[in-house]
Structure 1
Amino acid sequence: MKNLLIAVLFLVCTQISFAQTDPYVETVKQYLTINGTQEQYEGAIDAMFTMLKKHFKDAKVSEADWSELQSDKKKQVEDVKSILVSAYKAYFTLNDIKNMTVFYESAAAKQMKKDASKLTNVQRQQIGNFYDSETGQKMIASKDGLAKIEGEISMQWSGELYKSVLNKLLEKGYSLN
């Protein structure tokens, strides 16, 4: 398992250097924005800072320092999206990612994400048609494997982010005591 994570991280390092020119990387990152993944990571960062602010309440960390620490949020989310590209590359072609992006941009998928109980019959049919497609079948087949890799990446990323912010707080002279 650890070897898989090391391999994924190695691939990421290679891919990050090509991120500006590789259409696959940019397409996956766009997809991760549209499908709600970016929003989830932004929420995770916000939750981490809420927790840290509670833990460091007695340390009286200045709002300026909190703002400075949180100013990296966009970069941190872009970094994890770049890392996630390698997980998607293991399962999907560029064409698959484009198909998935088109699907998630549709009114049916947006409604599915917002409130599936309010889907119309036409929207249900559109969603069914997508999942019956080759790309949809790949999504279904890869769900567990992809979720496992994404979970490992998320754990590693969030742990590193937490340690980084904690170290910055300590460097600024704040402590939990």
Structure 2
Amino acid sequence: MKKLLLALFFLSSLQFTAQESTYHQDVLRYLTMNGTANQYSAAIDQLFELLGRQYTSQNVPDTVWVELKKETTPELNKILNMLVSAYRGTYSQEDIQQMIAFYETPTGKQLLADKTALDYEQQKTASAFYNSPTGQKILTSEQQIARSVGEISEIWSRDLYRSIIDKLADKGFIMPQ
């Protein structure tokens, strides 16, 4: 009997882990398709532009900047993984899958690209989506998600900035006062 209970517990924990992994992957997919990943990639580029200006007097070679920039790929993955937690408390797996399905449609793609260019039929389709339970959840949780994402982004960007400054210092480049 103990072995049977142990086996059932083990199987149920495997199923939970698989579901959790699928949810995580779905949110990452959604963050990529809705442009969030590109926004953070652009933020990294802007950070390097800022640091380049701040360190102008230090004559940091381009090779150092290239090396440091290569190290930011894990940082992009890190922020996206952190953002999954902002979605976890609000959206179910089914919600995320419905969001993905909608944003893969021509209407969803147009909405992400330029919502002012939606034609009449696309406006009707978008309206139907936002009147669905998932769409309503998006609308009612928009501020909460934005607040969570903002907090996560602030922590991440501060840590990334500090990390790059530390790496520059390790290479002998000190931030000018």
Kindly indicate whether residue 134 of structure 2 is the aligned counterpart of residue 135 of structure 1. yes
Q: Give the alignment of 1:1-177 within 5 angstroms.
A: 22-177=21-176
Q: How many residues align?
A: 160
Shift of 1:175: 1.8
Q: Deviations over 1:29-77 (max 9, x none)?
A: 0100001111111111111000000111111111111011101232111
Find the aligned partners of 1:147 and 1:164 in 2 and give their Cα distance: 25
Find the aligned partners of 2:119 and 2:103 in 1 and give their Cα distance: 16
TM-score when normalising by structure 2? 0.86
Q: Which amino acid aligns with 1:145?
A: Q
Greater shift, 73-82 or 166-175, is seen at 73-82
Q: What's 2:14 paired with? A: none
Greater shift, 70-79 or 127-136, is seen at 70-79
Q: Which amino acid aligns with 2:72?
A: K
Shift of 1:106: 1.5
Q: Which amino acid aligns with 1:64?
A: T
Shift of 1:118: 1.5
Find the aligned partners of 2:175 and 2:94 in 1 and give their Cα distance: 50
- Given that residues 107 and 122 in structure 2 are in contact (C-alpha distance below 8 angstroms), is that contact kept between their aligned partners in structure 1? yes
Find the aligned partners of 2:135 and 2:47 in 1 and give their Cα distance: 33
Q: Which amino acid aligns with 1:71?
A: K
The unaligned stretches of length 5 or more in structure 2 are 1-16
The unaligned stretches of length 5 or more in structure 1 are 1-17
Find the aligned partners of 1:27 and 1:113 in 2 and give their Cα distance: 18
Shift of 1:176: 2.9
Q: Which runs of 4+ in 1 moved over 6 A?
A: none
TM-score when normalising by structure 1? 0.86
User: Match of 1:92, SS?
Assistant: coil
Find the aligned partners of 1:76 and 1:127 in 2 and give their Cα distance: 33
Q: What's 1:5 paired with? A: none
Shift of 1:113: 2.1
Find the aligned partners of 2:115 and 2:149 in 1 and give their Cα distance: 24
The CA RMSD measured in Å over matched residues stands at 1.6
Find the aligned partners of 2:87 and 2:57 in 1 and give their Cα distance: 43
Q: Which amino acid aligns with 2:122?
A: Q
Find the aligned partners of 2:90 and 2:58 in 1 and give their Cα distance: 46
Find the aligned partners of 2:51 and 2:36 in 1 and give their Cα distance: 23
- Given that residues 58 and 176 in structure 1 are in contact (C-alpha distance below 8 angstroms), is that contact kept between their aligned partners in structure 2? no
Greater shift, 105-114 or 155-164, is seen at 105-114
Find the aligned partners of 1:118 and 1:135 in 2 and give their Cα distance: 23
Q: Which amino acid aligns with 1:136?
A: G
User: Which has more radius of gyration?
Assistant: 2
- Given that residues 82 and 152 in structure 2 are in contact (C-alpha distance below 8 angstroms), is that contact kept between their aligned partners in structure 1? yes
